[in-house]
Amino acid sequence: MELLEDSIPTNQSFATDNFIIFSISGGAGKNVLATAVVKAIKTQHPEMNIVVLTAWKDVWMYNPNVYRTYNFQNSPYFYENYIKGKNVKIFSLEPYQTEEYILKKEHLIYTWCNLYGIKYNGEQPELFFNKREVEFVQNNIVKNEPILLIQTNGGADVNNKYSWMRDLPIGIAQQVAEEFRGEVRLMHIRRDEQLPMKDVEQFKGGLREMFILVRESKYRLFIDSVAQHASTAVGKKSTICWVKNNPQVLGYAMHDNIVSDAVEELNSLDFSLLEPYDIAGQIPQCPFKEDAQLFSVEEIVNSIRTQE
């Protein structure tokens, strides 16, 4: 189900000269997380209309806190319409570059709000759908079948099939899948170039279809990537595996967060700068010996069972 660019709706129709420009770089997961930040901003500035500038417009569809959404590559007359001569606030600072994030002092949502002087009151990510797109996923993808939905890889580096730093080893994911084979339909969220699982269906739909599929699935096994944030936004408890990313900074308490206790036996920090490990999983930075076991299959399976 492809959405035409001009079919993406706006949420409000009134005109105003009071705008907040919320400019966000990064991936789809970061955008889903940012919906909590925008909700907090709107709560503190109800008189302002929030305009989102992003590469991921689909995340923001039907969001009642957003006045308009624009793509970085397709935003004609943006300056003239929203900045020139207007009462405007520009929220475009990068939370990943703050001391709080780099030193893992607090959750990213809290850090992001503080950057703009916004009071955080526990806002969580949100996603909104219309009736027809939900029916489409239910009738054409889910088909009344129980689904175990798995995301093993993130999307930070399109040239890298696997990031040791945050991705779930494909062998572990395969063993988990075998524990559920014949009981549920197995479905894998991945790009074409990323490592496949054997005899596991690849999800081929679009981003919004994936969001709805997360909500409609029976079981969920994810990493710190877009599906984790989406499962929070649609209120579905999931099992999240963490290699070196920190759930206290990027995760959510509603999930079962399984943090790897594999021992770092190798000195691999020679090429590290502000943080010990690059999210793309630079090979020389891996601190684990080749026989290191990052996760227990039994623990993951037992965790998934608690989602029933």
Does 2 have pLDDT greater than 60? no
Residue-range definition of the domain harbouring residue 48: 5-115
pLDDT confidence of 157, banded at 50, 70, 90?
low
Among the listed ranges 66-75, 159-168, 178-187, 236-245, which one has the minimum average pLDDT value? 159-168
Taking the alpha carbons at both ends of the chain, their separation in whole angstroms is 29
Task: Let me know whether 178 and 301 are in one domain.
Answer: yes
68 & 150 share domain: no
pLDDT value for 206: 97
Residue 78 within a domain: yes
pLDDT of 3 reads: 41
If one counts every other C-beta atom within 10 angstroms of the C-beta of residue 142, the result is 18
Domain count, the chain: 2
Bridge partners for 251 per DSSP? none
155 and 276 share one domain: yes
**10 pLDDT exceeds 50?**
no
CA separation for the pair 199, 297 (Å, rounded): 18
203 compared with 161, residue with greater pLDDT: 203
Residues 84 and 205 in one domain: no
Considering the chain, what is the average pLDDT of its residues? Answer: 93
- AA identity, residue 182: G
pLDDT of residue 70: 98
Domain limit, last residue, from 115, 146, 162: 115
What is the predicted pLDDT for the residue at 302?
Answer: 98
Q: What distance in Å separates the CA atoms of residue 12 and residue 121, rounded to the nearest whole number?
A: 25
Q: What is the largest CA-CA distance in the chain?
A: 62
How do residues 102-119 score in pLDDT, each as one tens digit?
Answer: 999 999 999 999 999 999
pLDDT greater than 70 at residue 13? no
pLDDT at 241 over 80: yes
- Tell me, what CATH number does 162's domain have? 3.40.50.2000
**Under a CB-based contact definition with an 8 Å cutoff, are residues 147 and 218 in contact?**
yes
CB-based contact 59:86 (threshold 8 Å): no
pLDDT for res 276: 94
Is residue 124 one of the residues assigned to a domain? Answer: no
Residues 189 and 289 in one domain: yes
| Predicted local confidence at residue 110, as pLDDT | 98
- DSSP string computed for the chain: -PPPGGGSPPS-----SEEEEEE--S-HHHHHHHHHHHHHHHHH-TTSEEEEEES-GGGGTT-TT-SEEEETTB-TTHHHHHTTTSEEEEE---GGGSHHHHTT-S-HHHHHHHHTTPPP----------HHHHHHHIIIIITT--EEEEE---SS-TT-S--TTTSPPHHHHHHHHHHHBTTBEEEEE--TTSPPPTT-EEP-S-HHHHHHHHHH-SEEEEESSHHHHHHHHTT---EEEESSS-HHHH--TTSEEEE------S---TT-SSSSS-TT--GGG--S-TT-----HHHHHHHHHTT-
Whether 179 has a pLDDT exceeding 50, the answer reads yes
**Closest among 272, 259, 263 to 300, alpha carbons compared:** 259
- 123 assigned to some structural domain: no
Residue 33 domain-assigned (yes or no): yes
Question: Percent of the chain, pLDDT > 70?
Answer: 94
Determine the pLDDT at residue 175: 98
Give the mean model confidence (pLDDT) for residues 189-217: 97
Q: How confident is the model at residue 8 (pLDDT cuts 50, 70, 90)?
A: very low
Query: Is the per-residue pLDDT at 285 higher than 90?
Result: yes
pLDDT at 231 over 80: yes
Residues 196 and 279 in one domain: yes
Contacts of 202 (CB under 8 A, 6+ apart): 187, 188, 190, 192, 196
So what's the pLDDT on residue 271? 87
What's the Cα-to-Cα distance from 206 to each of 21, 199, 236, rounded to whole Å?
27, 21, 19
Q: Are residues 70 and 160 in the same domain?
A: no
User: Could you count the other beta carbons within 10 Å of the beta carbon of residue 263?
Assistant: 11
Among 115, 144, 178, the domain-final residue is: 115
pLDDT at site 64: 98
Do residue 56 and residue 82 come from a single domain? yes
The whole-model pTM stands at 0.93
Residue 160 sits in the same domain as residue 64: no
Pair 262, 208 in one domain = yes
Which residues contact residue 161 at a Cβ distance below 8 angstroms, ignoring those fewer than 6 apart? Answer: 153, 193, 194, 195
Whether 4 shows a pLDDT value over 90: the answer reads: no
Same domain, 145 and 259: yes
Quick: pLDDT tens for 24-72: 999 999 999 999 999 999 999 999 999 999 999 999 999 999 999 999 9
| Same domain membership, residue 189 and residue 264 | yes
The CA-based dihedral angle spanning residues 206, 210, 247, 294, taken in that order and rounded to the nearest 10 degrees: -90
User: Is 125 a domain residue?
Assistant: no
- State the average pLDDT over residues 273-290: 94
